[in-house]
Amino acid sequence: MIENSFYTQEFHGPYELFHLGDFKLEEGGVIPNCQLAYATFGELNEAKDNAIVIPTWFSGTNKAYEPYIGEGRALDSSKYFIVIINQIGNGLSSSPHNSPAPISMSNFPDVRIGDDVRAQHQFLTEKYGINEIALVVGGSMGAQQTYEWAVRFPDMVKRAAPIAGTAKNTTHDFIFTDTLIEAITSDPGWNHGNYQSCTEVVDGLNRHAKIWAVMGLSTEFYKQEKWRLFGVNSVAEFVNDFLQPLFAAMDPNALLTMAWKWQRGDVSRMTNGNLEEALGRIKAKTFVMPIDEDMFFPPRDCEAEQKLIPNSELRVINSICGHFGLFGADGPAYFEQIDKHLKELLATPV
């Protein structure tokens, strides 16, 4: 175990921890005393049918979703019980740097998207007695988990909204994620995952951030100098003063754990590789919500999956920021689209 001040209440709170006990993983191995970090907004009603579940995306925590929540918004904490659950390995929930031996650091086991959703299901049922979820919604890796929820627990999930993500990761995305992994592991300071501080891997983390600067945004983002949306005055400032410091604070092994999981996200693992059969299991009213300029999860990839989901609709979100549109840097224009579609989805009888 090592200390990392980034993963604290100061930066990501308030959040709480739920202890799952010894948690068995799909790839074999166990996380002893597995912990899920979570944040809640609003109150669970007496019928326990107003829960909205939000799983986190790559590198993100519960804090990243706070701009999506508010009274009068689609994710209205005065009407719904909103639970944001940090995925395993994201730095707040059980992760390489905060787990004791024998699974600390480089010994942290491989975790699947399915493990996250099984852990979240255990948490929600044991902690709150929830057996019906009004909506599961998440972006990027949160979308992967949303699909997993809808396929794995079709009677429990009433509505689903995967944003900027796919049910089965593509070959293109797998190769891209390899570059993110190699950026970190090629740093001698990584030391096969046995460093003493993330500062020892700063060169690798900076390379990792620079790759995101290419693929996380769109070509038009740079043509139109939309990096100004992030409060910077030049491309150099965007990369060197925003993106690189952001990733430099994170734990390298946590990023690698999530990247491995992201690469292998695939709901068809539950149906012997048959994606059509897997998505055909979904009973939730589903809005598939890609971002038009997203280079990871372009609308055509998302639409191909949406067509396999019964009672589903494609709702494309416009954002020149591409995948980074998830951060809401476009301002009201982005959130107005998200709220419009989610309000309609939540108003749809199921």
Which residues of the chain fall short of a pLDDT of 70? Answer: none
DSSP 218-277: -HHHHHTTGGGGGT-SSHHHIIIIIIHHHHHTS-HHHHHHHHHHHHT-BGGGGGTT-HHH
For the question of whether the overall pTM of this predicted structure is more than 0.95, the answer is yes
Among 312, 323, 330, 341, the active-site one is: 323
For 286-312, the pLDDT digits (tens) are 999 999 999 999 999 999 999 999 999
Q: Report the CATH number of the 9-170+265-347 domain.
A: 3.40.50.1820
User: What are the extents of the domains in the chain?
Assistant: 9-170+265-347
Beta bridge partners of 154: none
Whether 323 is catalytic is yes
CA distance 195 to 209: 19
For 229-253, the pLDDT digits (tens) are 999 999 999 999 999 999 999 999 9
Residue 1 class from Cβ within 10 Å (0-12 exposed, 13-18 middle, 19+ buried)? exposed
**Residue listed under structure tokens 């979703």:** 65
Among 93, 104, 140, 312, the active-site one is: 140
Identify the CA nearest to 204 among candidates 144, 259, 262. Answer: 259
- Helix intervals (H) in the chain: 9-12, 113-128, 141-152, 171-185, 202-215, 219-223, 235-237, 244-248, 252-263, 275-280, 299-306, 332-347
Whether 294 is catalytic is yes
Per-residue confidence (pLDDT) for residue 331, from 0 to 100: 85
Is the Cβ–Cβ distance between 31 and 88 less than 8 Å? yes
